[in-house]
């Protein structure tokens, strides 16, 4: 499966005032339309966007993230496989990163390309390993500054709790010593405790980023943003992680790689991921059988380079056994925009970039959730009052062209003497997937509009049709493909049809 | 961990007087509390936290990420503190620290950016509460936050699917007048503490009202669509919110053109345009609108200082202190009684790491702010920082259950009416 970005190229407006760097150098005002050139950029090019050396004017430093947000919207609009985008989004949320930190933000296009989109249909151990060595993750969970002597525990803790074994395998409340954890004495502890976190943190000391930091003896790391293992910062002495003894001086990166491997293959990891996946893609309160069977598929294909594709196929098969109404999930704002624009025949123009702000008010922004557990996914939380307000604003704004995204013809297919009732009847099926008895007349009554009056004002017509997209049924869907659709997409991608 | 010390704390004194044997803090606070035994509001392991009904709004400001209480009120003279933290991770006391706060024999100094807190303390409007937390040994943010927000002893025993604010509103529904908006979150997302309640308004910034896109006509459209599709799973959620928006906006004062008037503080210190002040200003607006608010929750994010702690804490403490004093002055000027609790999921490790930060710890620092406190002293028992006093040998121990702090805040709030 191929989830790389595939959409027609655009130029996105970049605009800021002239200003000065802290050292007094001036940079000029900019107002131009630039291609999305950072999506394919390598780390050294993106490194400049951290602000290092003041090569990029400060107002331009969020460009990597803005390009990424726009690219995701365009991809969602143009892809024939929106369910692939939701799969990418799951992994984005699972390994959640916060783009409010400039060091994390600069490398995000590279993260999305080489970690998420590259590995999300592949093997879990590989996506985990790629995430652990990526500068965005190394900065976000502070491993880049972790040093032997008093290691920084942030990454190690979230690795166990959020990326792999999960919080139900965190047994610190029950056991204070590693040997007390059931299974520990035969090398298979059922869960982890703080001692494992401490030892894993030691294992990752020295996993850092080439960011110019001094490494002693008057030497410094290069400034490339690339991963580097700094032997002098690593704690080389013996360790014990998940009841496995690590010999001292195991060799470059061996300790950390071994921790990742132990975590990736732990049964609790299969269970934790299965539980998250089923809740996200099938239903909020799944049966234990759904979770167990998914965990089993995850474990069985542990060594497969297509492990996650197999897991996905299993999820589809599970979902197909349920009635549609029992597997509804909230549509992401990008998906909602894609469905609306397709329904009304609007070729969305995002080159002004003004739609990004409203998109980010309709849900937690892409890479906008501060803490590493990722944004909430339940229906109540995704339709919280503030996000619902943002959602209504987004859908109405797109329908009514508030952000220069383009206009569409609401009278398409209607005669010259069309009435308000005919207008709404015309657009119900494309937008809502079917006719709702009494909807047009009730909606028009709420707007003090006579259904039998002839409608001629296009703006008013667009506004009324846009209101249809605020219906509850427009906010949800079951996005999983059928098994047949899925297999067809797999075949096409293996034939290179997508590339 | 010195669990026995819990028995000696001022607030837990009544427990000690019952002659209870050695027991974990969790068991004491939850299972043995006298309120619980008498069948009154309390917090049982089976029922989860239920506070006595409060007659004033109770506001919680939550410092997300685990605030380093040892840096906000710092035991700078304690040799164990000095030994565990290098000089760059400590501060030099400021001019307003002329008299250190005493807890037992330990002196605590305000962080240089916390002058507004010192002012509030000196005025008897704010009290610190040291070594707060729970008995569960978790050092996971999300588990610790969830324990506090759900009002439970541990995530292993869940009495229901509710957050404690939602549970409390339901429990007191018969007794209190039916308010339009019992729960408000000054963030854009709904916190777990309100999980299970319908029609929760969560909005970070209400300075200009709700500004629903499309105005009242759009409200009516949404309400109509929800009624037409009443069988849809999202319909009830959306309709509750639409109705709440509508009613709350109506309660805000309007300009002659019919727009919501921008909110202006009645106090002398303006609300800074940062978190958590923006959310607190929204709480103030809801309180002023008199729509039956019982509980509000405002998050302040960013306290997970694993690295570059000194600079980050300086900004966080400055913002948070300025926010609290702005809110208190606003409420005072309006003669509006209230109770506010500041809490966090846990404190941080006594020994700092080599990233110039600190890792997840246990006992934390809380504050109670309000109109009628028994103030001017430090609450809670200070367990000390000697290695035998530390929880699992590394972290400040817990001597007061977080629920006791909340209960005391309600009690003080009730006195003020």
**CA–CA dist B350, B370 (Å, integer):** 30
Domain count along chain A: 2
**Chain B environment of A463 (Cβ under 8 Å):** 214
On whether both A347 and A433 belong to a single domain, the answer is yes
For residue A321, count CB atoms less than 10 angstroms from its CB and return exposed for 0-12, middle for 13-18, buried for 19 or more: exposed
Mean pLDDT of chain A: 96
Please check whether residue A284 touches B, CB under 8 A.
no
The SS3 assignment for B190 reads coil
**CA–CA dist B218, A477 (Å, integer):** 23
pLDDT score, position A495? 65
Please check whether residue B392 touches A, CB under 8 A.
yes
What number of other Cβ atoms are within 10 A of residue B77's Cβ?
13
* Contact partners, residue B256, CB within 8 Å, separation at least 6: none
Helix %, strand %, coil % for chain B, to 5?
35, 15, 50
Backbone angles phi, psi at A78, to 5 degrees: -95, -15
Query: Chain A window 95-124: which residues touch B at a Cβ cutoff of 8 Å?
Result: none
On whether both A433 and A308 belong to a single domain, the answer is no
When pLDDT is averaged across residues A421-437 and rounded to a whole number, the result is 96
The SS3 assignment for B324 reads helix
Lowest mean pLDDT, pick from A249-258, A386-395, B15-24, B138-147: B15-24
How close B30 gets to chain A, by Cα (Å)? 17
**Does residue A40 lie within any of the structural domains?**
no
Query: Chain A window 466-485: which residues touch B at a Cβ cutoff of 8 Å?
Result: 467-468, 470-473, 475-476
Nearest to B370 by CA among B326, B406, B338: B338
On whether both A362 and A466 belong to a single domain, the answer is yes
pLDDT score, position B415? 83
pLDDT score, position B175? 59
pLDDT score, position B45? 52
On whether both A305 and A412 belong to a single domain, the answer is no
| pLDDT one-digit tens code per residue, A264-279 | 999 999 999 999 999 9
Q: At which residue do the structure tokens 């309390």 appear?
A: B42
Which of these three, A285, A306, A328, is where a domain ends?
A328
Number of cross-chain residue pairs from A and B with Cβ atoms under 8 Å apart: 186
**Does residue A262 lie within any of the structural domains?**
no
Nearest to A285 by CA among A213, A379, A376: A379
Q: At which residue do the structure tokens 């710092």 appear?
A: B74
The SS3 assignment for B414 reads helix
Task: Give the count of alpha carbons within 13 A of A343, CB side only.
Answer: 24
On whether both A444 and A350 belong to a single domain, the answer is yes
Q: At which residue do the structure tokens 């970039």 appear?
A: A353
Please check whether residue A446 touches B, CB under 8 A.
yes
Do residues A71 and A39 touch, judged by C-beta distance below 8 A?
A: yes
Whether the predicted pLDDT of A434 surpasses 90: yes
Q: What is the 8-class DSSP label of residue B30?
A: I
Residue A153: closest C-alpha in chain B: B359
Which of these three, A328, A359, A376, is where a domain ends?
A328
**Does residue A413 lie within any of the structural domains?**
yes
| pLDDT one-digit tens code per residue, A126-151 | 999 999 999 999 999 999 999 999 99
Task: Give the count of alpha carbons within 13 A of A470, CB side only.
Answer: 37
pLDDT score, position A251? 96
**Chain B environment of A448 (Cβ under 8 Å):** 217
**What is the rounded radius of gyration, in angstroms, for the C-alpha atoms of chain B?**
22
Put simply, the answer to whether B237 touches A392 (Cβ < 8 Å) is no
pTM: 0.90
Element of type H or E holding B156: none
**CA–CA dist B69, B386 (Å, integer):** 17
**CA–CA dist A385, B183 (Å, integer):** 12
**Does residue A324 lie within any of the structural domains?**
yes
Please check whether residue A388 touches B, CB under 8 A.
yes
**Does residue A161 lie within any of the structural domains?**
no
How close A348 gets to chain B, by Cα (Å)? 21
Residue A328: closest C-alpha in chain B: B233
On whether both A357 and A309 belong to a single domain, the answer is no
On whether both A310 and A439 belong to a single domain, the answer is no
What does B240-255 look like in DSSP terms, one character per residue? HHHHHHHHHHHHS-B-
On whether both A319 and A364 belong to a single domain, the answer is no
**CA–CA dist A204, A235 (Å, integer):** 8
**Chain B environment of A442 (Cβ under 8 Å):** 224, 227-228
Please check whether residue A238 touches B, CB under 8 A.
no
On whether both A347 and A321 belong to a single domain, the answer is no
pLDDT score, position B120? 96
When pLDDT is averaged across residues A3-21 and rounded to a whole number, the result is 96
- Find residue A27's DSSP bridge partners: A19
Please check whether residue B245 touches A, CB under 8 A.
yes
Whether the predicted pLDDT of A199 surpasses 70: yes
**Does residue A334 lie within any of the structural domains?**
yes
- Conformation bin of residue B74: beta by default, left when phi > 0, alpha when psi is -120 to 50: beta
On whether both A386 and A284 belong to a single domain, the answer is no
HEC profile of chain A: CCCCCCCCCCEEEEEECCEECCCCCEECCEEEEEECCCCCCCHHHHHHHHCHHHCCCHHHCCHHHHHHHHHHHHHHHHCCCHHHHHHHHHHHHHCCCCCCCHHHHHCHHHHHHHHHHHHCCCCHHHHHHHHHCCHHHHHHCCHHHCCCCCCCCHHHHHHHHHHCCCHHHECCCCCCCHHHCCCHHHCCCCCECHHHHHHHHHHCCCEEEEECCEEECCEECCEEEEEEECHHHCCCCCEEECCEEECCCCCCCHHHHHHHHHHHCCHHHHHHHHHHHHHHHCCCCCCHHHHHHHHHHHHHCCCCCCHHHHHHHHHHHHHHCCCHHHHCEECCHHHHHHHHHHHHCCCCCCCCCCCHHHHCCCCCCCCCCCCCCCCCCCHHHHCCHHHHHHHHHHHHHHHHCCCCCCCCCCCCCCCCCCEHHHHHHHHHHHHHCCCCCCHHHHHHHHCCCCCCCECCCHHHHHHHHHHHCCCHHHHEECCCCCHHHHHHHHHHHHCCCCC
Question: What are the residue ranges in chain B where pLDDT is below 70?
Answer: 1-46, 174-178, 417
pLDDT score, position B389? 96
pLDDT score, position B216? 83
A36 token code pair = 């999305």
Which of these three, A311, A328, A345, is where a domain ends?
A328
- Which among A196, A462, A472, A476 is the top mutation candidate for probing chain B, defined by the most B β-carbons within 10 Å of its own β-carbon? A472
How close B8 gets to chain A, by Cα (Å)? 24
How close A397 gets to chain B, by Cα (Å)? 9
Instruction: Give buried/exposed letters for B36-72 (b at 16+ CB in 10 A, else e).
Output: beeeebbbbeebbbbbeebbbbbbbbbbbbbbbbbbb
On whether both A338 and A472 belong to a single domain, the answer is yes
B108 token code pair = 């605590």
Taking each helix axis as running N to C, give the angle between helix B115-122 and helix B309-333, from 0 to 180 degrees, rounded to the nearest 10. Answer: 40
| pLDDT one-digit tens code per residue, A77-92 | 999 999 999 999 999 9
Whether the predicted pLDDT of A325 surpasses 90: no
For residue A304, the enclosing domain spans 267-328
**Does residue A359 lie within any of the structural domains?**
yes
| pLDDT one-digit tens code per residue, A109-126 | 999 999 999 999 999 999
Facing residue for B234 by CB, picked from A149, A383, A439: A383
On whether both A323 and A417 belong to a single domain, the answer is no
How close B98 gets to chain A, by Cα (Å)? 34
Please check whether residue B88 touches A, CB under 8 A.
no
**Does residue A371 lie within any of the structural domains?**
yes
**CA–CA dist A351, A8 (Å, integer):** 12
**CA–CA dist B286, B279 (Å, integer):** 11
């Amino acid at each position: 499966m191929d989830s790389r970005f595939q959409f027609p190229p655009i130029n996105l407006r970049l605009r800021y005032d002239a200003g000065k760097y802290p050292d007094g150098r001036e940079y000029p005002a900019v107002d131009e339309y630039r291609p999305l050139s950072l999506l394919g950029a390598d780390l050294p090019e993106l490194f400049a966007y951290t602000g290092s050396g003041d090569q990029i004017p400060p107002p331009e430093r969020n460009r990597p993230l803005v390009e990424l947000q726009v690219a995701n919207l365009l991809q969602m609009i143009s892809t024939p496989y929106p369910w692939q985008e939701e799969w990418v989004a799951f992994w984005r949320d699972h390994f959640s990163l916060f783009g409010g930190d400039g060091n994390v933000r600069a490398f995000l296009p590279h993260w999305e390309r080489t970690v998420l989109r590259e590995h999300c249909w592949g093997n879990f151990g590989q996506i985990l390993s790629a995430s652990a060595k990526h500068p965005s993750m190394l900065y976000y969970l502070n491993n880049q500054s972790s040093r032997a002597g008093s290691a920084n525990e942030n990454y190690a803790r979230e690795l166990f709790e959020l990326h792999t074994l999960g919080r139900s395998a965190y047994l610190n409340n029950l056991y204070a010593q590693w040997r007390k954890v059931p299974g520990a004495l035969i090398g298979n502890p059922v869960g982890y405790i703080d001692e494992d976190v401490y030892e894993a943190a030691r294992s990752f000391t020295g996993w850092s980023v080439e960011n110019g930091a001094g490494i002693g003896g008057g030497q410094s790391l290069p400034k490339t943003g690339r991963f580097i293992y700094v032997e002098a910062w690593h704690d080389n002495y013996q360790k014990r992680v998940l009841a496995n003894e690590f010999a001292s001086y195991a060799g470059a990166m061996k300790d950390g790689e071994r921790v990742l491997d132990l975590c990736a293959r732990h049964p609790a990891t299969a269970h934790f991921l299965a539980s998250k996946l089923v809740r996200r893609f099938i239903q909020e309160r799944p049966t234990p059988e759904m979770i167990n069977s998914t965990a089993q598929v995850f474990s069985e294909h542990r060594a497969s380079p297509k492990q996650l594709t197999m897991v996905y196929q299993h999820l589809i098969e599970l979902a197909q056994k349920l009635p549609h109404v029992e597997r509804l999930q909230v549509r992401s704002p990008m998906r909602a925009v894609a469905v609306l624009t397709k329904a009304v025949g609007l070729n969305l123009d995002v080159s002004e970039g003004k739609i990004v702000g409203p998109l980010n008010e309709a849900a937690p922004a892409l890479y906008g959730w501060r803490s590493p557990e990722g944004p909430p996914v339940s229906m109540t939380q995704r339709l919280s009052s503030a996000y619902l307000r943002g959602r209504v604003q987004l859908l109405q704004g797109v329908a009514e062209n508030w952000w220069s995204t383009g206009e569409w013809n609401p009278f398409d297919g209607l005669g010259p003497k069309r009435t308000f009732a005919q207008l709404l009847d015309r657009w119900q099926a494309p937008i809502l997937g079917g006719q709702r008895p009494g909807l047009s007349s009730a909606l028009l009554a709420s707007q003090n509009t006579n259904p039998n009056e002839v409608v001629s004002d296009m703006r008013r017509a667009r506004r009324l049709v846009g209101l249809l997209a605020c219906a509850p049924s427009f906010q949800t869907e079951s996005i999983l493909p059928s098994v047949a659709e899925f297999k067809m997409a797999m075949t096409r991608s293996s034939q290179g049809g997508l590339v | 961990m010195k669990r026995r010390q819990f028995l000696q704390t001022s607030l837990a004194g009544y427990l000690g007087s019952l002659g209870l044997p050695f027991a974990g803090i969790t068991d004491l606070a939850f299972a043995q509390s006298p309120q619980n035994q008498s069948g009154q509001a309390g917090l049982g392991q089976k029922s989860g936290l239920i506070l006595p009904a409060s007659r004033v709004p109770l506001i919680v400001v939550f410092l997300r990420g685990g605030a380093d209480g040892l840096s906000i009120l710092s035991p700078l003279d304690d040799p164990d503190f000095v030994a565990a933290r290098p000089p760059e991770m400590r501060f030099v006391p400021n001019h307003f620290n002329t008299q250190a706060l005493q807890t037992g024999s330990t002196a605590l100094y305000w962080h240089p950016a916390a002058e507004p807190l010192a002012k509030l303390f000196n005025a008897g409007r704010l009290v610190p509460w040291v070594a707060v937390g729970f008995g569960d040994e978790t050092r996971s943010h999300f588990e610790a936050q969830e324990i506090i927000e759900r009002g439970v002893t541990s995530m292993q025993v869940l009495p229901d699917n509710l957050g404690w604010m939602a549970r409390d509103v339901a429990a007191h529904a018969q007794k209190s007048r039916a308010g339009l908006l019992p729960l408000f979150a000054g963030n854009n997302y709904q916190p777990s503490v309100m999980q299970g309640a319908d029609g929760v308004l969560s909005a970070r910034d209400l300075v200009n009202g709700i500004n629903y896109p499309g105005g009242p006509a759009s409200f009516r459209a949404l309400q109509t669509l929800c009624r037409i599709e009443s069988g849809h799973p999202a319909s009830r959620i959306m309709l509750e919110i639409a109705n709440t928006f509508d009613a709350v906006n109506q309660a805000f004062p309007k300009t002659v053109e019919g727009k919501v008037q921008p909110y202006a503080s009645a106090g002398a210190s303006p609300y800074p345009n940062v978190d958590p002040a923006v959310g607190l200003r929204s709480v103030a607006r809801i309180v002023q609108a008199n729509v039956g608010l019982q509980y509000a929750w405002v998050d302040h994010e960013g306290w997970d200082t694993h690295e570059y702690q000194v600079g980050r804490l300086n900004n966080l403490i400055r913002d948070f202190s300025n926010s609290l004093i702005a809110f208190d002055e606003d409420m005072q000027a309006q003669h509006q009684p209230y109770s506010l609790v500041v809490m966090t999921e846990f404190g941080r490790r006594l020994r700092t790491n080599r990233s110039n930060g600190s890792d997840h710890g246990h006992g934390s620092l809380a504050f109670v702010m309000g109109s009628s406190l028994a103030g001017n002293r430090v609450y809670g028992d200070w367990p000390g920082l000697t290695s035998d006093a530390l929880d699992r040998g590394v972290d400040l121990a817990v001597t007061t259950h977080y629920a006791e702090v909340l209960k005391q805040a309600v009690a003080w709030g009730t006195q003020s009416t």
